[in-house]
């Protein structure tokens, strides 16, 4: 697949200004200029955010109404329940809100729909159960913005609802007491991209302010808020970066037994955004995907070390099972694509019998990554097909589905990821409809772009320089790990690893030699040979092996030098 390398045109005068003013090295200063982090206030907030960098929570839509309603319900001793999603964002949202209420002396219930039986979001049978249990106030977290009918139903049963969500808003808002979502059209909150747990954090901050509580009453939950924020892959800019940066500091010394146990079991020695994204988040999400979401919530809420250890083992076992199921579905999906030549379409839409719909979202991500096309994977269940979709930069999948509503039962999500349900007998018509939308959007013209932060030479690279890049942590959406281009390197050695899956290189520039690793690039071992001159694009990292640290390039792409 041909990729476009887009290298920033760096303003060298501004780079020198930052070097002189902030004592940054050349590489860090270059990255800051390229990412337009120049002013003192922006730079300080980016490198060293503080608790003073949080926005006023009462700028969020309906926040004042929500807080007043909650305090009124507490005063009247009404029964309150939190209704949350089953992923890492939803689990951490419930954990934070439930724990905060407990701290202020309020016992609240919680409800998480079973992904395999109830699907995403509010549903009427769940509302029935909540009503029968005598709850009078329901607070949704990480869901609810599209639950028009379900909230109307709750109103009829005498349940008041406060929606806290971060997903895209449809044409109509639900008839709730308050709707706290920064994606509302009337929003004036500075950060629109909070995760669901980020919205919950703003809610407990607002309640704390209203009750004149100390800042610690809400700041102490930043470790859990950080986990949900990084896990949900929201852009780590503005307030999300403040949450993630300060939160990671707390994660390193967390008092939450469940989180501490999960970190240890993940096997990562260093706690950073990578540890959260690849060590912690998959284990939490595996519970929801496999239909055992209560275990993840109980892990974070438990203060019993024996229970925590048992729950951690369960999460690990669910994650292993999830990986096996995911591998099988992926292989089936690729086989179907190759057989039907679906990769020639603008959109890849697949459906399978007995596919585990708790896992197909991950498979959709891998299909999109492999073919660089938006994909929707559905699993048939009776007369319905339920599934997930993932998109590519430049194509708004949520907006595309809005143009195919006649073939859709329900859907939700945002531009890059959606959940969807259609009727089985609508599958073919849906495929035609969404393919036409993609064709009209000229999706075939979208090319994968690698954003290059700087062009460097091997002479510029040393261990101290690479370690300095840690100041840019946490990395994630909106703040990617820096990618550099190094040109005219000679291949000293080249081979495929792991049964041809990965690529291992030794590269030379004059007397300087560096190792490079290309994950899922093993096929290139046949295209290049020792002595070839190549240009490489990749990330710089420290590889620790047998107690020895060395700098290596984590490759994103390579091409022959011109």
Which string of DSSP letters, residue by residue, matches 498-534? TTTTEEEEEEEETTEEEEEEETT-GGGGGT--TT-EE
Q: Confidence band (pLDDT; 50, 70, 90) for 118? A: confident
Cβ distance 88 to 227 under 8 Å?
Answer: yes
Q: What is the spatial distance between Cα 65 and Cα 141, in angstroms, rounded to a whole number? A: 16
Opening angle at CA 129, ends 90 and 132, nearest 5: 135
List, for residues 505-526, the tens digit of each pLDDT value. Answer: 999 999 999 999 999 899 999 9
Cβ distance 357 to 386 under 8 Å?
Answer: yes
- Report the SS3 class of residue 33: helix
Q: What is the spatial distance between Cα 84 and Cα 126, in angstroms, rounded to a whole number? A: 12
Q: What is the spatial distance between Cα 211 and Cα 493, in angstroms, rounded to a whole number? A: 65
List, for residues 47-98, the tens digit of each pLDDT value. Answer: 999 999 999 999 999 999 999 999 999 999 999 999 998 899 999 999 999 9
Q: Is the predicted pLDDT of residue 357 greater than 80, yes or no?
A: no
Say if strands 384-390 and 348-353 run parallel, antiparallel, or are unpaired: unpaired
List, for residues 539-560, the tens digit of each pLDDT value. Answer: 999 988 777 889 999 999 999 9
Q: What is the percent of the chain with per-residue pLDDT over 90, rounded to a whole number?
A: 79
More confident residue, 208 or 45: 208
pLDDT at 412: 80
Burial of residue 214, with CB atoms counted within 10 A of its CB: 0-12 exposed, 13-18 middle, 19 or more buried: exposed
pLDDT at 354: 85
List, for residues 337-347, the tens digit of each pLDDT value. Answer: 999 999 999 99
The two structure tokens encoding residue 4: 């476009």
For domain 341-445, give the fold. Diaminopimelate Epimerase; Chain A, domain 1 (3.10.310)
Return the HEC string of 446-486. Answer: CCCEEEECEECCHHHCCHHHHHHHHHHCCCECCECCCCEEE
Residue 298's CB is within 10 A of a number of other CB atoms, namely 18
Q: What is the spatial distance between Cα 289 and Cα 295, in angstroms, rounded to a whole number? A: 12
Check whether domain 450-562 has CATH 2.30.30.240, yes or no:
no
Q: Is the predicted pLDDT of residue 36 greater than 90, yes or no?
A: no
Q: What is the spatial distance between Cα 41 and Cα 36, in angstroms, rounded to a whole number? A: 12
List, for residues 429-483, the tens digit of each pLDDT value. Answer: 999 999 999 999 999 899 899 999 999 999 888 899 899 999 999 999 889 999 9
- Write down the pTM of the prediction: 0.88
Cβ distance 391 to 410 under 8 Å?
Answer: no
pLDDT at 14: 92
Q: Confidence band (pLDDT; 50, 70, 90) for 289? A: confident
- Residue 387 DSSP one-character state: E
Section 232-250 average pLDDT: 95
Burial 193-208 (b: 16+ CB within 10 A, else e): bbbbbbbbbbbbbbbb
- Mean pLDDT (the chain) is 93
| All structural domains of the chain with their residue ranges | 10-48, 56-235, 252-325, 341-445, 450-562
CATH of segment(s) 56-235: 3.90.1640.30
Q: Is the predicted pLDDT of residue 538 greater than 90, yes or no?
A: yes
Q: Is the predicted pLDDT of residue 115 greater than 90, yes or no?
A: no
pLDDT at 557: 95
pLDDT at 114: 84
């Amino acid at each position: 697949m041909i990729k476009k390398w887009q290298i920033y045109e760096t303003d060298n005068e501004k780079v020198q200004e930052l070097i002189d003013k902030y004592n940054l090295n050349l590489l860090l200063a270059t990255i800051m200029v390229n990412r337009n982090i120049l002013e003192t206030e922006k730079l300080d907030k980016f490198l060293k955010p503080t608790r003073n960098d949080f926005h006023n929570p009462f700028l969020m839509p309906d926040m004042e109404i929500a807080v007043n309603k909650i305090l009124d319900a507490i005063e009247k001793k009404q029964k309150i329940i939190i209704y949350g999603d089953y992923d890492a964002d939803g689990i951490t949202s419930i954990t934070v809100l439930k724990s905060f209420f407990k701290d202020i002396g309020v016992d609240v219930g919680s409800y998480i729909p079973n992904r395999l039986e109830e699907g995403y979001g509010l549903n009427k049978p769940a509302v029935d159960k909540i009503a029968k249990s005598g709850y009078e106030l329901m607070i949704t977290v990480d869901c609810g913005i599209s639950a028009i009918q379900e909230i109307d139903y709750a109103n009829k049963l005498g349940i008041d609802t406060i929606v806290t969500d971060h997903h895209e808003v449809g044409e109509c808002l639900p008839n709730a007491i308050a709707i706290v979502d920064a994606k509302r059209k009337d929003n004036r909150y500075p950060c629109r991209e909070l995760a669901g747990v980020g919205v919950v954090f703003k809610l407990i901050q607002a309640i704390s302010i209203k009750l004149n509580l100390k800042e610690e009453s809400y700041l102490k939950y930043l470790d859990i808020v950080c986990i949900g924020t990084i896990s949900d892959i929201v852009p780590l800019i503005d307030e999300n970066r403040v949450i993630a940066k300060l939160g990671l500091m707390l994660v390193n010394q967390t008092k939450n037994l469940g989180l501490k146990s999960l970190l240890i079991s993940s096997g990562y020695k260093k706690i950073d955004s990578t540890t959260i994204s690849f060590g912690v988040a998959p284990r939490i999400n595996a519970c929801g995907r496999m239909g055992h979401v209560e275990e993840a919530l109980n892990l974070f809420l438990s203060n019993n070390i024996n229970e925590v250890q048992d729950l951690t083992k369960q999460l690990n076992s669910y994650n292993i099972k999830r990986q096996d199921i995911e591998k099988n579905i992926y292989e089936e999906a690729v086989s179907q694509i190759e057989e039907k030549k679906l990769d020639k379409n603008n959109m890849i839409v697949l459906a399978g019998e007995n596919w585990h719909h708790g896992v197909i979202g991950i498979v959709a991500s891998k299909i999109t990554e492999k073919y660089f096309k938006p994909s929707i994977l559905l699993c048939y269940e009776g007369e319905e097909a339920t599934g997930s979709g993932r998109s590519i930069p430049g194509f708004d999948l949520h907006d595309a589905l809005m143009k195919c509503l006649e073939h859709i039962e329900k859907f939700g999500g945002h531009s890059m990821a959606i959940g969807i349900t259609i009727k089985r007998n609508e599958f073919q018509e849906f495929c035609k409809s969404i393919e036409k939308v993609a064709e009209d959007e000229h999706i075939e013209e979208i090319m994968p772009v690698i954003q290059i932060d700087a062009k460097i030479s091997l002479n510029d690279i040393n261990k101290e320089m690479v370690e300095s890049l840690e100041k840019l942590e946490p990395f994630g959406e909106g703040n990617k790990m820096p990618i550099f281009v190094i040109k005219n390197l000679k291949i000293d050695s080249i081979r495929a690893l792991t049964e041809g899956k990965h690529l291992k290189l030794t590269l030379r520039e004059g007397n300087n030699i560096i190792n490079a690793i290309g994950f899922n690039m093993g096929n290139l071992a046949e295209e290049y040979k020792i002595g070839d001159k190549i240009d490489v694009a990749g990330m710089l990292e420290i590889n620790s092996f047998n107690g020895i640290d060395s700098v290596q390039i984590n490759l994103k792409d390579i091409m022959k030098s011109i």
